[in-house]
A and B are shown apart, each in its own frame.
Chain A
Amino acid sequence: MIADAHLNDVGSGSRIIEFKGVTKVYGKGYATVEALRGVDLSIDEGEFVAIMGPSGSGKSTCMNILGCLDMPTAGTYMFRDVDVGGLTRNQRALLRRHYQGFIFQGYNLLSRTSALENVELPLLYRGAGAHERRDRAMEALETVGLKGWESHTPGELSGGQQQRVAIARAIVTGPAVLLADEPTGNLDTARSREIMDVLTDLNREGGITIVMITHEPDMAVYAKRQVHFRDGLVESDALNGGAR
């Protein structure tokens, strides 16, 4: 596969994500919206970054581009040594499959499907055998503290548990980076803190790079670094001095 050969050059330097002058314009003619207006942003391996900012400031747009689900209108996006702008739709799918994990605000689990099967899903696309899928999915569920819940369907789980299944699904393939768009947006504070603890552990012990959107300062403090967006631009970018 050409795509795979190409992606073998992704490497594992210390810089994992680099945005240079990334802009994103939606629509055409008079109805255009400039969601991103020249964003420069670099993230190193092993960082835990919280992206904050008011509604409509371009956080989700930025996340979609990070996750190769969308392409910048202008500017370059380097994922490790790969220029994402030069990839085809299929190559971007493969990049997501092998290097990125996604967590959504609304969990997005498959309904009427057991937790185990939900977590196995990404492995299915990696061609893993039934045994390997099962073992790795069980391991991932254990990591997020859901041992014993594997046969429950999303409908039988609480919101916090569902989000932990979603995290297990995102990490089961051992991705380089975890992308989370408001992962605690639907949860109460106690449940949110549990999720943040899981993410912090993954970042500290697993060494996984995490980029997380949140509008809650309480959650942002779990990250090592906070990037604030305003009107499609990075307004501030600072390390959390000794937070937590």
Chain B
Amino acid sequence: MLWNTVLLALREIRRNVMRSFLTILGIVIGVGAVITMVTIGGGATLQVQQQISSMGSNLLMVSPGKRLGPGQSSGNVAFKEADAEAIIREISSIAAVAPVSSQSIQAIFGNQNWTTQVTGSDNQYFHVTNRTVGTGRQFSESELRAGAAVCIIGDTVRKKLFGGQDVLGEKIRLQKLSCEVIGLLEGKGQSSMGMDQDDVVVVPLRTLQRRITGNQDVGLIQVSVQQGASTDKAQQDIAKLMRERRHLAPSDDDNFHVMDMKEISKMLTGTTELLTALLSAVAAVSLLVGGIGIMNIMLVSVTERTREIGVRLAIGAMEREVLMQFLVEAVVLSSLGGLIGIVLALVSSVWLAGVLRVPFVFNGPIVFVSFLFSAAVGMIFGYFPALKAARLDPIEALRHE
């Protein structure tokens, strides 16, 4: 009987294809949007996590100000190169330290130009960030000391400025500085939320300080803790050292911040997760609107088919059988919307993942839950119209119109 009812419902839906489609459009869009949001959000989160783990779990970042990110106070006291040197000298569990300063600058080669992140550091930078110079070489001691006009570029910068051409020995211009390309970074092949890790030019720290920023400041100290040593301990040691160097009284708060990978990871994935949750909530509301659309059309359908309902009641259909018929119709309709939404979501997720360059991760549970939800929407919003149909007086119904 239930199967027959489902077949009956499908026939009823087929009879009015256009209207049925418009009825379920809300559900299609709702389910499609929810799944797409969650899938893309999940891909982005996974990518951030992958990137962080590719940096190694023993990385610490020391930044001026209380916290990294929004709400940073302006009166920050910047680090100097000596702070980085002190860390490696004073704390035994540290493997490498790289002082880093960056600025966004337009790089020019011939008639090509490309705005990129110019990072000033030393050879420890490659160690700490887990990167290698693929072709060419690292900086020499004298280049670092003198602040020579040399640079090592990432693959994205190479592509944008040089295309297929050889790069070693060529000179690119960074503002007034003309510097020779001495190396090419091995590609990381990943990007997160428009943050391309190969979109970078590395120059000696002194070069950046003297020729570009014009000050002695170090924006960030990246620290690599020795394998097997406790990062928590290192974190505490660094904090203690920095407090001493900055002459903070015991009652003063830290005016710098030491972050470990867990914290960095939380900060980065936290943003994507919040965004995903917000967008999904908006999408869920559209599911609700879709449900109201179904209720609306089911009420119209009950009115239109009043005589049919009268006939069914007259030939011996019981209240609950008529109720079931309309309820099943609503559920089949909304589930159909759910299915179309799922297909649509998978197609658009794969496409969007490609465009946004995040991995596509199939999220089974959310697909399943969305489908159940769409069926539930049909059940809830179809109930009232179905009850209305079942409660009709057969005599009145047969006399209708």
> Chain A residues with Cβ under 8 A from B1's Cβ?
124, 127
Q: Knowing A64-B395, A93-B313, A127-B1, say if A110 contacts B308 (CB, 8 Å).
A: yes
- Which residues from chain A sit less than 8 Å from chain B, CB to CB? 64, 67, 69-70, 89-90, 93-98, 100-102, 104, 108, 110, 112, 121-122, 124-125, 127, 169
- Which residues from chain B sit less than 8 Å from chain A, CB to CB? 1, 4, 8, 15, 307-308, 310-319, 321, 394-395, 398
Report the bound CA distance from A226 to B155 in whole Å: 102
Report the bound CA distance from A112 to B317 in whole Å: 21
B395:A70 contact, CB within 8 angstroms: yes
> Chain B residues with Cβ under 8 A from A112's Cβ?
15
Q: Knowing A93-B316, A94-B316, A97-B316, say if A110 contacts B311 (CB, 8 Å).
A: yes
What would be 28 A-B contacts, judged by CB atoms less than 8 Å apart?
A64-B395, A67-B314, A69-B313, A69-B394, A89-B319, A93-B317, A93-B319, A94-B316, A96-B314, A97-B315, A97-B317, A98-B316, A101-B315, A102-B315, A108-B307, A108-B310, A108-B311, A110-B308, A112-B15, A121-B311, A121-B312, A121-B315, A122-B315, A122-B316, A124-B8, A125-B312, A125-B321, A169-B315
Residue among B307, B315, B317, B398 with the highest chain A CB neighbour number at 10 A: B315
Least distance between B87 CB and chain A CB atoms (Å): 82
Report the bound CA distance from A100 to B315 in whole Å: 8
> Chain A residues with Cβ under 8 A from B314's Cβ?
67, 69, 96, 102
Least distance between B97 CB and chain A CB atoms (Å): 79
Least distance between A200 CB and chain B CB atoms (Å): 23
> Chain B residues with Cβ under 8 A from A122's Cβ?
315-316
| Cross-chain contact of A90 among B15, B318, B394 (Cβ < 8 A) | B318
Report the bound CA distance from A121 to B325 in whole Å: 13
Please give me the 4 A-B residue pairs with the lowest Cβ-Cβ distance, nearest first: A97-B316, A96-B316, A122-B315, A93-B318
A104:B315 contact, CB within 8 angstroms: no
Residue among A69, A93, A95 with the highest chain B CB neighbour number at 10 A: A93
Report the bound CA distance from A200 to B311 in whole Å: 24
Report the bound CA distance from A134 to B362 in whole Å: 45
> Chain A residues with Cβ under 8 A from B318's Cβ?
90, 93-94
Report the bound CA distance from A129 to B4 in whole Å: 10
Question: Which chain B residue has the least Cβ–Cβ distance from A129?
Answer: B4
6 new A-B contacts at CB < 8 Å, known A69-B394, A93-B318: A69-B313, A70-B395, A93-B319, A97-B317, A112-B15, A124-B4
Least distance between A184 CB and chain B CB atoms (Å): 18
Report the bound CA distance from A124 to B6 in whole Å: 13
Report the bound CA distance from A163 to B1 in whole Å: 28
Least distance between A62 CB and chain B CB atoms (Å): 13
Residue among B1, B316, B317 with the highest chain A CB neighbour number at 10 A: B316
Least distance between B207 CB and chain A CB atoms (Å): 81
A90:B319 contact, CB within 8 angstroms: yes
Question: Which chain B residue has the least Cβ–Cβ distance from A170?
Answer: B315
Report the bound CA distance from A108 to B399 in whole Å: 10
Least distance between A52 CB and chain B CB atoms (Å): 21
> Chain A residues with Cβ under 8 A from B398's Cβ?
104, 108
Report the bound CA distance from A94 to B312 in whole Å: 12
Report the bound CA distance from A90 to B316 in whole Å: 9
> Chain A residues with Cβ under 8 A from B311's Cβ?
108, 110, 121
Question: Which chain B residue has the least Cβ–Cβ distance from A97?
Answer: B316
Least distance between B16 CB and chain A CB atoms (Å): 10
A69:B317 contact, CB within 8 angstroms: no
Question: Which chain B residue has the least Cβ–Cβ distance from A96?
Answer: B316
> Chain A residues with Cβ under 8 A from B317's Cβ?
93, 97, 125
